[in-house]
Amino acid sequence: MTATPASGPSTNRPSGAEAMVRLLSRQGVTHIFGLCGDTSLPFYDALARLDHGMRHVLARDERSAAYMADAFARVTGRVGVCEGPSGGGATYILPGVVEANESSVPLLAITTDIATSSRGRFTLTELDQKALFRPLTKWNAVIERAAMLPDLLRRAFAEMTSGRPGAAHLAFPYDVQREPVDETALWIDPATLQVPSRRIAPDAAAIEAAAAALSAAAHPILICGGGVVIAGAEAELTRLAERLGAPVATTISGQGSIADTHPLALGVVGSNGGTPETRSVVDAADLVLFVGCRAGSVTTERWRHPAPGVRILHIDADPAVLGACYPTETGILGDAKLALAALADAVDPRPKPLANGSAQTVAAAKRRKFAAFDALAASDERPIRPERVVATLNRLLPEDAVLVCDPGTPCPYFSAFFRWRVTGRHFISNRAHGALGYALPAVAGAQIGRPQAKCVAVMGDGSFAMACGEMETLLRHRLPVTLVVLSNASFGWIKAGQRTGFASRFYSVDFGRTDHARVAEAFGLKAWRVEDPAALEPALKAALAADGPTLVDILVQPLEEARAPVSEWIA
């Protein structure tokens, strides 16, 4: 690996800030999402002076910057980079960092810091950044001297892109930004330019054992998490499923592993987005293969579906996942693409797999599921049913669109009922920690990362209020995104939980209704407010076709009154 020619002013001893800029550029970074601060001045000056080809996207909040970088990484398959200053900047950026890390998203957070010589002297914004970020990242370091910077940045990219991808953090003190760095140290490892950077091949004996179990099973099912899309293993998954004639279910993060139009594609399972119809297919299986999926509480409805005692096989790039939640007959440590390809070669193919009972079972389950949905989606009731919003966007959005959904009302409805006709990352939701306020900034990162796609964010009004300042960012960058606000004047998820589990003792979950369209117009967006179901499609169609960012504010049925696909409420 050799260094590429230096960019910017010619010098044998670039500063730490200049070295950071040059190395990020050489790592293939095209965008940096962040917010300025006193401790970042040398870094910003280097970004301003050097010819590096990167674009800095100024966010209005460090949390938003991290969410933008997260979604950018998800749609591009490259590391997303965010930055912020010391003190409050470092603490504000944390929610986006932990979400990316737990969602296996490669994200680099750079937080500048007070000078190393000022530590322990009650310096403004001083805190122990390494301790702060340690439990929230895959890897984390403080650049104590400028000479350490190249090695630490290379290590960060290696950690973020190998094995199970995740987040890394580098603290960048003010004086270190000004110290000199040896020019010859500014080289990068080309393998870490993409994710995954180094694929782990599965053990041959584990493949043989899993193939034998799959071939012998009468009713196997594959349950896929986000690891399939991260690994780019969609084709290998489809080939294995077709050879076995096995249904394929996904988690919310696993959507895009298989096209929803495929005859073996069951859809989302679990307590959020799953339905009794999809659950019944899981319960009928005599063997479950988890692929790139942690088999956690949501996917398995607290480890009840599949039920204990069912034979379990598991593929994952993280050894800690294998056998953590279920007794596992065969655990395959390895990259999902390589493991699925090896299994597809090793299993005994079944005769006419797409005409067997599994395909008929999947089709019947989907017919029952969508019969109930379609009836509600056609309703002319007021407030507008969430099902009608899902169905309308399903008709209007092109197949290569990107849909970013906040938790709360949007996530279960769109996970359960939006039908993707293509594979790959087209659906994004922050499922690891489920913080509100994600979709609005995240859709900016998605649009920047995939500029040819139509990107849409769907959020509740609670989420909108947490991030509405980023509408100025959307307008400043002329991003042609559409924001859809499902307005019910409450924190609906919690209110629905109070109805179901606490005898409808609603407490501190309701707030005043805001005219979100007027707020958006004040920021300079084109906006529509919809109360009449008949006006929904014309408004969405106009918003999707307009230049620049748009917003559609829809008065929808309160979540505690709706029939959301959330198992604890259905029960």
CATH superfamily of 16-193: Thiamin diphosphate (ThDP)-binding fold, Pyr/PP domains (3.40.50.970)
Token pair recorded at residue 330: 């065969």
Q: 3-state DSSP helix/strand/coil percent for the chain, to nearest 5?
A: 45, 15, 40
Phi/psi-derived region of residue 478, left when phi > 0, alpha when psi is between -120 and 50, beta in every other case: left
Is residue 46 within 8 Å of residue 179, measured between CB atoms?
A: no
Q: What is the pTM of this model?
A: 0.95
pLDDT at 570: 79
- Residue 455 CA to residue 129 CA, distance in Å, equals 34
Domain ranges of the chain: 16-193, 204-360, 378-570
- Residue 287 CA to residue 313 CA, distance in Å, equals 8
Give yes or no on whether 204-360 and 378-570 have one common fold. yes
DSSP calls for 258-270: S-TTSTTEEEE-S
Burial (0-12, 13-18, 19+ Cβ within 10 Å), 36 = middle
pLDDT at 351: 77
Query: Is residue 135 within a helix (H) or strand (E), and if so which, with residue range?
Result: none
- Residue 484 CA to residue 477 CA, distance in Å, equals 19
One digit per residue, the tens of pLDDT, for the chain of length 571 reads 334 444 444 457 999 999 999 999 999 999 999 999 999 999 999 999 999 999 999 999 999 999 999 999 999 999 999 999 999 999 999 999 999 999 999 999 999 999 999 999 999 999 999 999 999 999 999 999 999 999 999 999 999 999 999 999 999 999 999 999 999 999 999 999 999 999 999 999 999 999 999 999 999 999 999 999 999 999 999 999 999 999 999 999 999 999 999 999 999 999 999 999 999 999 999 999 999 999 999 999 999 999 999 999 999 999 999 999 999 999 999 999 999 999 999 999 887 666 568 899 999 999 999 999 999 999 999 999 999 999 999 999 999 999 999 998 999 999 999 999 999 999 999 989 999 999 999 999 999 999 999 999 999 999 999 999 999 999 999 999 999 999 999 999 999 999 999 999 999 999 999 999 999 999 999 999 999 999 999 999 999 999 999 999 999 999 899 889 998 887 5
Residues pairing with 553 in the sheet: 485, 529
Give the residue among 458, 481, 476 at the shortest CA–CA distance from 524.
476
- Residue 355 CA to residue 358 CA, distance in Å, equals 8
Q: Is 157 helix (H, G, I), strand (E, B) or coil?
A: helix
Token pair recorded at residue 383: 């407030």
Residues 6+ apart with CB under 8 A from 174: 39, 41, 42, 112, 113, 114, 115
CATH superfamily of 204-360: TPP-binding domain (3.40.50.1220)
- Residue 455 CA to residue 444 CA, distance in Å, equals 8
Is residue 554 within 8 Å of residue 389, measured between CB atoms?
A: yes
pLDDT at 1: 38
pLDDT at 40: 98
Q: Is 178 helix (H, G, I), strand (E, B) or coil?
A: helix
- Residue 499 CA to residue 41 CA, distance in Å, equals 51
CATH assignment, 378-570 = 3.40.50.970
